Structure 1
Amino acid sequence: MFNNSAKILFIFILMMSTMITISANSWLGAWMGLEINLLSFIPLMSDNNLMSNEASLKYFLTQTLASSILLFSSIMYLYKNNFMSFFNNLYNDNKYISMMILLSLLMKSGTAPFHFWFPNVMEGLNWMNSLILMTWQKIGPLMLISYLIIKTMLMWCIMSSIIIGSLGGLNQTSLRKLMTFSSINHLGWMLMSMFSNESLWITYFLFYSFLSFNLIFLFNMFKLFHINQLFSMFLFNKYLKFSLFLNLLSLGGLPPFLGFIPKWLTIQYLTFNNQLFMMSIMIIMTLITLYFYLRLCYTAFMLNYYENNWNFNIYWKNIMMNIYLMLSFFSTFGLFIISFMFYLI
C-alpha cells in the first residue's frame, strides 16, 4: 500500500475528510466530510481481484444509502429552521428528523441491527483495509452520534450490537468475520460509554484500535485468514503462540490484560448509575465472545500440542517481528504497568 503514490494520496484524503467531519459545525458540513471519506476509501479497497471489487461495491451502496438519508434529514431540518440552525437542540426541535439522522449514522458505523453489510465487506478486504474499516472509518460516525444521543433508540442498538456481536462469532471459521463480530460487540460498549462522557468512549476507542492493530499486524505478516491456518501455518514456537493468543484474550477484555481497562471504566459508570440490568447483559454477552476466543486458544495452550522449534529463527530475525513483540508485551502487561504508574503518582 505504501509503495503506491496514488494510495498514499487517498490515505491522506481519508484522514483529512475525517478531520472535516469531526470539526464541522453543521450537518451539511459533516455530510460533506463523510462523502469525501467514502470516495477516498473506495479506491483503497479495490485490490484487482473479484472479492475486493465486490466488497467495494457493497460498501459504496450501503454508505450511499446512509448518506442520502443523512442529507435528506439535514436539509429537512435546516428548511424547518430557515437554514440557521446547527448541531444545537436538534432533538428538541424535531424528534423524527433526529432519529433519521441517528439511523443513518448507525448504518454508516456498522452498528447492529444495521450491520448486515459489515461482515460481507470485511470478507473481501485485505488486512490493512480491514483495519482501516474497523478503526478509522468509525471515528466520523461515532463522533456525530455523540452529538445526538437519543437514549431509547441507542439502548436498543447497544443491546442488539452486544448480542449479535457475541452470538454471530460463534460459528465463524474466517478470522476476518471473527474480527467483524468482535468489532460489532465493541461498538455496543463504545455507545454505552458515550452516555458517561466524551472522554470515556474516546479512551475505549483508542484501546480497541491499539489491540486490533496488534492482532492484525501479525495476521497480515503471516497472511492468516482462517482458523485452521493458526495451527498449520506458523505457530512453530511458544513465543509466537502465546503472544498471539494473549492478544486475542486482551481484545476480549479478560481482566489481567490491557483490554480490560476500558471495560472496567464502562462497568464502573454503569454501576454508579444503577444500570445493573444493562451491565449484566453486557458482561454475559462479552463472556460469550471470550468463549470463542478461548476456543481458538485452547488447542494451542495444550501441553501436548505438536511444535517444530527448528523453524523459529526464520521469524525471530525479522524487524517487524520485534516491533510486534514489543506491542504484544504492552498489550499483555499494560494493565499492570498502568496500575503501577497510578499508585506511584
Structure 2
Amino acid sequence: MYFSFNSSKMFFFIILIFSTLISISSNSWIGCWIGLEINLLSFIPLISNSNNLLSTEASLKYFLTQSIASINFLFSILLKMILMKNFEMIFFLSIMINSSMLMKMGSAPFHFWFPNIIEGLSWFNNFILMTWQKITPMIILSYYFNKNFILIIIMLNAIIGALGGLNQTSLRKLMAFSSINNLGWMLSSIMISENLWLFYLMLYSFMISIMCFLFHILNMFYINQLFINNMNSLIKINLLINFLSLGGLPPFIGFLPKWIIINFLIMNQMYFLTFILIMMSLIMLFFYIRIIYSSFMFNYLKMKWFKIFIKNNKFLLINFISFFSLTGMILSTFLYL
C-alpha cells in the first residue's frame, strides 16, 4: 500500500479527474451518464490489485453496484425523454434519478456496498472514494432535487452513519460510517447553496486526508492498534485533535461548516432535521472520544520493545495541520462580524 503511483495508475487517475469534469460541465443527461461511466471504468484499475484478494473483491463489488446505479439512471433519462409531457410521472422519475445518484455516492439506505468495499481498499483509495467520487453524483443530484425525498435521506444518513459506527472495530469501516453521517450534512448544505456545499466538501476532504495520511503512516487498520502500539504522546494528541475536528466539536475547524448549516436550517424553521443532525453528531463524538480515551489510558507492557517513529518532515506537517484544525473557533467568531 503506497501513495506513489506507477505510470499506468497515474494515467487512470488523470482520466478519473477528467471524467468528473465531463459530467459536471455537460449540458445533457446523456453527457452526465457518459462521464459517470468513464469515472467508473477509470476508478476500477486504481483499486484493483492482483496481489490482494480483498481489493480484487472490492473492485468487483464496486463495478456491480455502480453498474446497477448507472442502468437505473439511464433508464430514468430515457423515461424522462419519452414521458416529457406526463406530469404524473415527474415525481416518480425524480425519485428514480435521485436514488441512482444516492447509490452512486454510497448514501443510506443504498449504503450496503460502501463499508464492505472500503474495508478492502488502501487508505489512499479510501480517500478518493470518500471525497472525489461524491462530487459528480452530488452535482447531478442538485439538478433534479425531490426535496421531501432528500429530507428523509438526510435523516437516514445521519442516523445510520452514527449508529452503524458504534460497534465497529475496523478503522476503515469506522471512517465509512463517518462518511455516511457527513453525507447527511453535505446533502443539507447542497439544499441551501452550492457554494456552502463546496465549502463543506473542501473542509471535509481536508479532514479526511489528515486521517488517511496519519493511518497510512502509522500502518493502522484496527482500533486496538491505537492502544496496543507504543505511540508518541504527540501523535496521540494529533489523533485526538483530528478525530474531534471530524466529529465537529466547537473549538475545531470541523465545527465551522456544521455551524453555518445549523444556522440556515434554523432560519428556515427545519427544527426537527436540525435536532436529528445534532443528536447524531453527539453519538459520532461519543465513539471518537471512546477510541481516543482508550489509546491514552490503556498501557500494554508486552509491546514496549516496539516503538513507532515518524520522520521529522512528516511529523512537522502533521503538527502544522493539527494546529490549523484548532483555528475553527477563531474563524467562526470573525465570520459574522
Shared fold per TM-score greater than 0.5: yes
In 2: Cα distance, 1:309 partner to 1:65 partner: 50
Query: Map of 1:123-138 to 2, 5 A cutoff?
Result: 123-138=119-134
Cross-structure match for 1:32: 34
Query: Does residue 286 of structure 2 align to residue 291 of structure 1?
Result: yes
Q: Secondary structure at the match of 2:27?
A: coil
Residue number in structure 2 paired with 1:74: 77
Residue of structure 2 in register with 1:87 after alignment = none
> Post-superposition shift, 1:282?
1.0
Shift of 1:2: 3.0
Question: Corresponding residue for 1:202?
Answer: 198
Structure 2, gaps ≥5 residues long: none
Among 56, 67, 81, the residue aligned to 1:64: 67
Q: Is the 8 A contact 2:218 2:308 kept in 1?
A: no
TM-score, structure 1 length as denominator?
A: 0.91
Residue in 1 that maps onto 2:104: 108
Aligned to 1:21: 23
Shift of 1:312: 7.5
CA distance in 1, matches of 2:285, 2:308: 32
Return closer, same or farther for 1:119/1:310 CA change in 2, 3 Å cut-off.
closer
**Equivalent residues, number:** 333
Question: Structure 2 matches for 1:1-345, cutoff 5 A?
Answer: 1-48=3-50, 49-81=52-84, 94-235=90-231, 237-302=232-297, 314-315=309-310, 317-331=311-325, 333-339=326-332, 342=335
Q: Is the Cα–Cα contact under 8 Å of residues 299 and 305 in structure 1 kept in the other structure? A: no
1-side partners of 2:77 and 2:45: how far apart?
27
Q: 1:24 to 1:92 in 2, by over 3 A?
A: farther
Amino acid aligned to 1:58: K
Taking the aligned partners of 1:327 and 1:174, their CA distance within structure 2 comes to 24
In structure 2, the CA distance between the partners of 1:3 and 1:60, relative to structure 1 (3 Å rule), is closer
CA distance in 2, matches of 1:74, 1:128: 33
5+ residue gaps in structure 1? 83-89
CA distance in 1, matches of 2:225, 2:203: 27
> Is the CA contact 2:109–2:157 (under 8 Å) kept in the aligned structure 1?
yes
Contact 2:228 2:299 in 1 (8 A): no
Q: Do the aligned partners of residues 81 and 176 (structure 1) sit closer, same or farther apart at CA in structure 2, a change above 3 Å counting? A: same
TM-score by length of 2: 0.93
| Identity, % of aligned positions | 51
Task: Return the alpha-carbon distance in structure 1 between the equivalents of residues 90 and 249 of structure 2.
Answer: 42
Deviating beyond 4 angstroms after TM superposition, the runs of 4 or more aligned structure 1 residues are: 90-93, 304-313, 339-343
Provide the secondary structure at the position in 2 that maps to 1:152.
helix
Residue identity opposite 2:46 in structure 1: L
**TM-superposition CA deviations, 1:110-155 (whole Å, max 9, x none):** 1100000000000000100000000000000011111121111111
Q: Distance in 2 between matches of 1:28 and 1:247?
A: 40
Contact 2:72 2:96 in 1 (8 A): yes
